[in-house]
Structure 1
């Protein structure tokens, strides 16, 4: 998977928060609640969030295998990870990438990010526990991608960034969900 990532995305490590700016020509953002509300406050609102996430995920991946990717980080290369929730919600994730940021001369400020992937058949709702944690901003750097690493769904607290294979595919997905789009001209 790491070799395929380097071949498909040579300019960027798998930090989900960077995809939007790295691939603006195939990127679209959807908000997860009406009125661009950021955080759900009731079970009805969680249902809307999960419906929106799963609708787009189904359109991208129904009937296919996907990688579900999560991350954690620490100040040492081997951990312990900062997010025990990640391990609890994604126990089948296998570490496939480590990205170290060691620019600071003080090793206490070095950050080592570890990415974990699990291959699974996409089924509506199969990632709901992870998606709910993302919606609550208790888990970050989660994404779902096809096995070719071409289509990527990046949920975040407030919505999802989606990378498609072409601008035309992006525009078609955008056109299917106009009420979920941000209202500002930057698409944020």
Structure 2
């Protein structure tokens, strides 16, 4: 897929937001829900048994959405604050080296939120095509869960965004009915908070 192909599909499917994962739950709140990766909403795994719970939950629900051997896109999220602070640089992260990334246009974060970001702050998304297989992406899920990298998954064919983070996974589904069905199915993994966070 080319950069232009991605941008066309993004505009067609998600016209009310830009490809930055923390915005999804606000811009598509009616289609959003979140699961927590560990019991009692624990944020980080501390031993291998907790890692097994986290990875088991994430693999189960992502497989439910994507299916087996399904093509999907990884969108790596790079943030560059000013001239001297950078995190999650795709070219420098070993976890990203097996994938062939296509860079999207830089986004000036100050234009998204002028109160939160300064003028030099830049967000640089890049995407790569891969296949979903249970357990195949566990190392990537671990890195995201430890907040070492930031990335999310998208299937335009299935109209779903899967955005793991350090604590759980956010989902943007095709409509409210689909969201409510999955929320009910995975209700034991939901937050107890009223706002779903």
The TM-score bracket by the shorter chain reads: 0.7 to 0.9
Query: Equivalent residues in 2 for 1:6-25 (5 A)?
Result: 6-25=11-30
Match of 1:183 among 185, 189, 192: 192
Instruction: Give, in whole Å, the separation in 1 of the partners of 2:104 and 2:67.
Output: 24
SS at match of 2:93: helix
Match of 1:162 among 171, 175, 182: 171
Match of 2:104 among 96, 109, 115: 96
Structure 2: stretches of 5+ with no match in the other structure: 1-5
TM-score using structure 2 length: 0.83
Instruction: Give, in whole Å, the separation in 2 of the partners of 1:28 and 1:117.
Output: 23
Tell me the matched-pair count: 183
SS at match of 2:134: coil
User: Once the 2 structures are TM-superposed, how far is the Cα of residue 119 of structure 1 from its aligned partner?
Assistant: 0.9
The reply on whether 1:50 has 2:55 as its aligned counterpart is: yes
Runs of 4 or more, structure 1, over 4 Å off, are none
Cα displacement string for residues 66-122 of structure 1 (whole angstroms, at most 9, x for unaligned residues): 001111122579x99532476321122221342123568xxx851221111111121
Alignment correspondent of 1:137 = 147
State whether residues 75 and 109 of structure 1, in contact with CA within 8 Å, keep that contact through their aligned partners in structure 2: no
CA RMSD, 1 decimal: 2.4
